[in-house]
Chain A
Amino acid sequence: MKRVVAVLMVLGCVAIATERASAYLKLGSRVGTRTVTLNWKTFPIRYFVTNRAGGGVSAQQLQTAAGRAFGTWAAVPTAEVSSQFAGFTGNTPALNDGITTIGFVDRPDQDRVLGATNFLIDTVTGEIVESDIYLNSTFDWSVATSGETARFDVESIALHEIGHLQGLGHSALGETELRAGGRRVLGAEAVMFPIAFSAGTIEGRTLREDDIAGLSDIYPNAEYRRERGSISGTVLKGGRGVFGAHVTAFNPRTGKLVAGFTLTDAGAFVIGGLEPGPHVLRVEPLDDGDIESFFDLTLNVDTNFQVKFHDKLVVVPRGGGVNGVSISVVAK
């Protein structure tokens, strides 16, 4: 089969969201009428680090922090991923040179973008051939253990970008407020939320349940298949499907939150990676980030409906799925 490659770019983590990105919970490539999930087919993922300092952080410090971030993802107990530092390189990220590279790049034109990830993909199989991450050295960075005032934490942002590198899109599991100049995140329960916590914080170094579910959905191991379950259903408004509704599953026993979107015109959603047991479902419009941080703007995302809880507890089976959940919402 002829291999077709394409370049895809995700603006990973932004200080304040204004830029466009194309991303879902899982990144996908359209092949005819179906979407194939982007993922790595061979492990470990071998990556290089650009031999260049940026924002007050040396290349060696970047490599150490990126190594910790790769290690955090590799430690997810229900997924199978691994990585290997291959060495320093003079090449810069975002260069389609066949090697996966992480490094600092001066991007003063992207004054609100902390970092971004791009891909070289096989558009037929969805295999990620190469992925590069750049951190914008226009910002001040830190690798201090407890963070550093007014400097963004390299490990936190690297953790987010490496999530993209592995095929994860953005999560909408967070709350924001609009301020002069853009949105500010008030709280989030996913490293893959598109807007970073404020400079000086290190909360982004810890994966949340939503991140773990997302990674495990792409690279499931036997434990994931055996122990986790899913909920699927539809969100309807006036009897018609709602596209782009944000559906959150909450486990009232553990407090864990995992979310997904309705991704068809029929309003269909699937939330995977859930622990067995009863779950609360909550539906809300995508109003805590710019829509383009999650979906292509050509898609008709419906945000005109009220937040709603489902009135049934939905029981997730072990190693299986519960289907046919139907949630009706009403216009604002």
Chain B
Amino acid sequence: MLVVAALLLTVVPADAQFIGKPAPRAGTVEFSGGGLFHGGSDEPNVPANLTRNPTTGSGPLELFKSDVELKPAFGVEARVGVYINPKVSVEGGVQVAWPQLRASLTDDFENAPDVTATETLTSYVFSGSVLYHFGAPAKRSHPFLLAGAGHVRDLHDGNDLVETGFEYHGGGGMKWWLGKGRPKAGVRADVGVSVREGGYGTEDGRRIVPTASFSFAYLF
């Protein structure tokens, strides 16, 4: 997936070039912030089973079905990065999103009406990444690839329970620097995947979450 992303991103033509001193360069600091989207995930369906009296049939007696999913969510993010050289930068950031956890409860043994029970998580990801930028530094558009890892904190409704975990992410995107002369401001688009272990999800399980974001960026 990363290879495909890299191929797609590197064929995007640069539309202009900086005038004057190339930027960014080693030591340049980049701030960015904006909105994000991350995909949902289906959790394993664990039915509410009773142990069956063996003389009345085989297999467990299902009290009701439970189909759990974490819905896709929107959120916000902020990052700060430092360029090691014009091609490579490192950055740290925080993302906050509010996915809804939904349990569809159906097929009750005693005919309780079907219900979807919900709660809303506040999901934090504190992450660090390394970015590699393609193309000449003097150009206004820079495709890039990134990879990194982070710490996940999923805070449940009521704020009384936090479930933590790790995430590993990879992806790519594009930065467009705006204005004339040496650019200061720009926009940035990212797509990628985040592999999450822990947080809300199956015990000892792993969730693969597609992510996308759009940010405004500023160089110092």
Interface residues of A (CB under 8 A from B): 173-175, 184-189, 197-198, 200-201, 203, 206, 208, 248, 250, 252-255, 257, 276-278, 280, 282, 284, 306-313, 315-318, 320, 322
Contact = CB atoms under 8 A, between A and B. Distances in A.
A187 B51 contact: yes
Contacts of B202: 253
A310 B119 contact: no
Residue of B48, B49, B64, B158 most packed against chain A (CB within 10 A) = B48
Nearest to B103: A252
Given A187-B61, A188-B53, A254-B46, A320 B160 contact: yes
A278 B48 CA distance: 14
Interface in B37-84: 43, 46-57, 60-61, 63-64, 66, 68
Given A252-B66, A309-B64, A313-B117, 9 more contacts: A175-B63, A186-B61, A208-B51, A255-B48, A255-B49, A284-B110, A308-B115, A313-B119, A315-B160
B113 interface: yes
Contacts of A197: 53-55
A252 B66 CA distance: 7
Contact of B118 (A173, A255, A276, A311): A311
B220 interface: no
Nearest to B163: A277
A189 B47 CA distance: 13
Contacts of B116: 311
A278 B112 contact: no
A270 B52 CA distance: 27
Contacts, number: 137
B158 A322 contact: yes
Nearest to A310: B117
Contacts of B160: 315, 317, 320, 322
B46 A252 contact: yes
A284 B108 CA distance: 11
Given A186-B61, A280-B105, A309-B117, A200 B55 contact: yes
A253 B43 contact: yes
A201 B158 contact: no
A253 B46 contact: yes
A29 to B, nearest CB: 31
Given A257-B63, A313-B118, A307 B112 contact: yes
B60 A187 contact: yes
Contacts of B47: 255
B111 A307 contact: yes
Given A198-B55, A255-B49, A280-B117, A307 B108 contact: yes
Given A173-B50, A175-B61, A252-B103, A308 B203 contact: no
B54 A201 contact: yes
B53 A185 contact: yes
A282 B109 contact: no
B51 A317 contact: no
B131 interface: no
Nearest to A185: B53
20 contacts: A175-B109, A186-B61, A197-B54, A203-B51, A253-B43, A255-B46, A276-B161, A277-B163, A280-B48, A282-B64, A284-B110, A308-B112, A309-B108, A309-B117, A310-B115, A313-B118, A316-B161, A317-B158, A318-B161, A322-B158
B52 A186 contact: yes
A308 B46 CA distance: 19
B139 interface: no
A227 to B, nearest CB: 12
A312 B118 contact: yes
Given A322-B158, A322-B160, A311 B117 contact: yes
A197 B54 CA distance: 8
A175 B55 contact: no
Contact of B103 (A308, A313, A320): A313
B115 A309 contact: yes
Contacts of A201: 53-55
Contact of A309 (B46, B105, B109): B105
A250 B112 contact: no
A189 B203 contact: no
A312 B117 contact: yes
Contacts of B57: 186
